Amino acid sequence: MAEIINGKELAKKIRRELKKEVAELKENGINPKLAVIMVGDDSGSQVYVKNKSKACEKVGIEFEEYLYDSNLTEKELLDIIQKLNNDNSIHGILLQSPVPKHIDINKAFRTISPEKDVDGFNPINVGNLSIGEDAFISCTPYGIIKMLEEYDIETEGKNAVILGRSNIVGKPMIQCMLNKNSTVTVCHSRTNNIDKILKNADIVIAAIGKPRFVKKEMIKDGAVVIDVGINRLEDGTICGDVDFEKVSEKASYITPVPGGVGPMTIAMLLSNLVKAAKIKNQVKAVH
Ligand code: NAP
């Protein structure tokens, strides 16, 4: 049976460390603060923003919400971002997706100053990650790397197969695994023979949003399986992209849903925010 990678516990440990760091910063007159912008009333986003707010509160990070209805124009949004860029009391800016269709989200991400881009979506951070420079790394891939490190999972020379090529998970994950010296294959909706490719994977990272897509027969004995998916089923329960029960019988390590990648994503957002506050104030960043 696979060992379960407990993202919830690791996230707690990271939050405990961050809480101490935030307290130290405050003693030195630095008050880490995150600004979250939400446009429209997407119900999923409301839950995510609430969870982020609670997590910030737990470690002592100040949290400011900027909520707008879906009529906000792109120009207005860009002006709000610029204002937050210029606000010295704010260390991180997060634009919750999705945004209404009339707004070009990439343009908005480009407008967030790279120094405050704690989600790691500005092309400057994406580029710095890809050339191995210090960068704010997209929180989900960053959290996955932290989990692999915590559990001493060997990545060097291993075949890592990533399912999904989104800008927020799949693509930055490719770079993160390359930086960990894995040999990386990425699959998407047009990939042929996913089964065959998965069979050769030492590490599987599933981020496609398809309930229980990865089956026991698809993986090799002892594979490490990381499940990013969050899928709400008709009965209201949540499951990942991996058939957890069955795949656990064959994998060496596996992340559960919930309690795996999800809590780590939020923990790394807090970590990025603390890093941003430290860089701005020229305190040595440890993360
Ligand atoms: P996304 O933007 O919808 O991208 C999905 C990716 O999966 C696309 O690249 C798509 O390929 C690929 N795909 C879809 N169906 C496929 C199939 N049958 N076979 C192979 N590839 C397929 O999704 P996302 O934002 O990356 O999120 C993926 C999942 O992770 C979702 O369930 C989301 O809720 C979850 N998520 C969780 C966290 C967390 O913190 N735990 C964070 C972010 C996302 P194409 O590019 O060809 O369309």
Give me the catalytic one of 33, 116, 119, 243: 119
Tens of pLDDT, residue by residue over 41-77, are 998 899 999 999 999 999 999 999 999 999 999 999 9
Residues 187 and 245 in one domain: yes
| Residue 52: active-site member | yes
Would you say residue 62 lies in a domain?
yes
Tens of pLDDT, residue by residue over 7-39, are 999 999 999 999 999 999 999 999 999 999 999
Average pLDDT over residues 246-254: 98
Would you say residue 188 lies in a domain?
yes
Q: Which domain holds residue 181?
A: 139-262
Residues 143 and 251 in one domain: yes
Q: How far apart are CA 262 and CA 113, in angstroms?
A: 26
Q: Which residues pair with 238 in a beta bridge?
A: 232
Ligand 1: residue whose CA is nearest its atom 8: 164
Residues 102 and 156 in one domain: no
Residues 146 and 104 in one domain: no
Residues 104 and 158 in one domain: no
Residues 104 and 143 in one domain: no
Would you say residue 242 lies in a domain?
yes
Residues 202 and 238 in one domain: yes
Contact of 277 with 88, CB cutoff 8 Å:
no
Residues 98 and 146 in one domain: no
| Residue 119: active-site member | yes
Q: How far apart are CA 148 and CA 93, in angstroms?
A: 27
Would you say residue 284 lies in a domain?
no
Would you say residue 4 lies in a domain?
no
Residues 170 and 250 in one domain: yes
| Residue 146: active-site member | no
* The model scores a pTM over 0.85: yes
Atom of ligand 1 nearest to the CA of 231: 32
Whether omega for the bond prior to residue 114 falls within 30 degrees of 0, making it cis, is: no
Q: Compute the distance from residue 231 Cα to the ligand 1 centre, in Å.
A: 10
Give the CA distances from residue 83 to residues 10, 91, 224, in Å, rounded to whole numbers and listed in that order: 35, 13, 44
Would you say residue 129 lies in a domain?
no
Would you say residue 199 lies in a domain?
yes
Predicted pLDDT at 282: 87
Residues 104 and 189 in one domain: no
Ligand 1: residue whose CA is nearest its atom 5: 208
Average pLDDT over residues 175-184: 98
Residue 263: both structure tokens together: 């809590």
| Range with lowest mean pLDDT among 146-150, 240-244, 283-287 | 283-287
Residues 106 and 204 in one domain: no
Residues 154 and 95 in one domain: no
Domain boundary among the residues 113, 147, 176 is at: 113
The beta strands (E) that lie in the chain are given as 3-4, 33-39, 62-68, 92-95, 159-163, 183-187, 203-206, 224-227, 231-232, 238-239, 253-254
Would you say residue 172 lies in a domain?
yes
Residue 49: both structure tokens together: 């923003």
Ligand 1 is surrounded, with C-beta below 6 A, by 140, 163-166, 168-170, 187-191, 194, 207-210, 228-231, 261-262, 265
Q: How confident is the model at residue 81 (pLDDT cuts 50, 70, 90)?
A: very high
Give me the catalytic one of 33, 96, 175, 180: 96
Q: Name the domain count of the chain.
A: 2
